[in-house]
Amino acid sequence: MTPTPNILGAGSVMLAVLKREVALGLRQKGEVLTPLVFFMVIASLFPLGVGAESGLLLRMAPGVLWVSALLAAMLSLQRMFATDYADGSLEQMVLSPTPLGLLVLAKALAHFLLSGVPLVLMAPVLGLQFGLDSRALGILMLTLLLGTPTLSLIGSIGAALTLGVRGAGVLLSLLILPLYIPVLIFGAGAVEADAAGLGFGGHVSLLSALLVLSLFFSPFATAAALRISLE
């Protein structure tokens, strides 16, 4: 059975939004570089602050790197819809015949490509200064690859709810940080569990489940939040 024209049309619009968001992000180098530099600075300061004891650094590494990545991913969340809100294109998206959830999903995916993927690629380099071996670095990259898109999807809900609100940055953090805690626990816990000989499969499965749930629920919740914010 071939896809219906409506499905093909929605897919093409979604792809166009994704390409537009990535192109705009690459033109604004700060949007890509700021979270990455923040991630590097925060993760690099911990070894300097706690000393060079290898055992302590190894125990701290998963949590430090995951917390640093989580905070770095949050930096650009506020701008996910702010530009479109300011120039009026967000209203056009809401009125578009294409389901708003698909457009929201495209913007969240663009956020992951611009913010999450650089963090995943930089994590092994930063992990080396904590003394992580190749196996631990591989698990860390896998958990970040599963966790950072979940952060973008959940963060899109908070970005939509705080759209146009004064002091949106602080409010956004208060809204989404509690929702980020399970991702942080399972992401950092995977490396620690493997180091303790308990295996990391359970943590990866739970991260995958969170990603699937976020993919299903977050676009609808974000679309509803955007309509509320625009009223």
The pLDDT tens digits for 27-82 are 877 777 888 888 888 888 877 777 666 677 778 888 888 998 898 888 888 788 87
12 in a structural domain: no
- CA 145 – CA 121 distance, rounded (Å): 9
Instruction: Give the count of domains, the chain.
Output: 1
pLDDT of 14 higher than 80: no
Answer yes or no: are the C-beta atoms of 225 and 160 closer than 8 Å: yes
All residues at 6 or more sequence positions from 31 whose CB lies less than 8 Å from its CB, including other chains:
25, 76, 79, 114
- The pLDDT of residue 149: 93
Q: Domain range holding 70?
A: 20-230
- The pLDDT of residue 28: 77
55 in a structural domain: yes
- Look at residues 104, 114, 105, 133 and name the one whose alpha carbon lies nearest to residue 72: 114
Neighbours of 62 (CB within 10 A): 25
Answer yes or no: are the C-beta atoms of 108 and 18 closer than 8 Å: no
Selected residue with higher pLDDT from 96 and 205: 205
8 in a structural domain: no
- CA 11 – CA 96 distance, rounded (Å): 13
Query: If you average pLDDT over residues 133-143, what whole number do you get?
Result: 89
- The pLDDT of residue 93: 79
Give the tokens for residue 98.
């294409």
136 in a structural domain: yes
10 in a structural domain: no
**What mean pLDDT value characterizes the chain?**
83
9 in a structural domain: no
3 in a structural domain: no
- The pLDDT of residue 5: 47
- CA 141 – CA 99 distance, rounded (Å): 33
- Helix axis angle for 79-87 and 100-111, nearest 10°, is 130
**Segments in the chain forming alpha helices (H):** 5-27, 29-50, 54-74, 79-87, 89-95, 100-111, 117-128, 134-161, 168-195, 201-230
11 in a structural domain: no
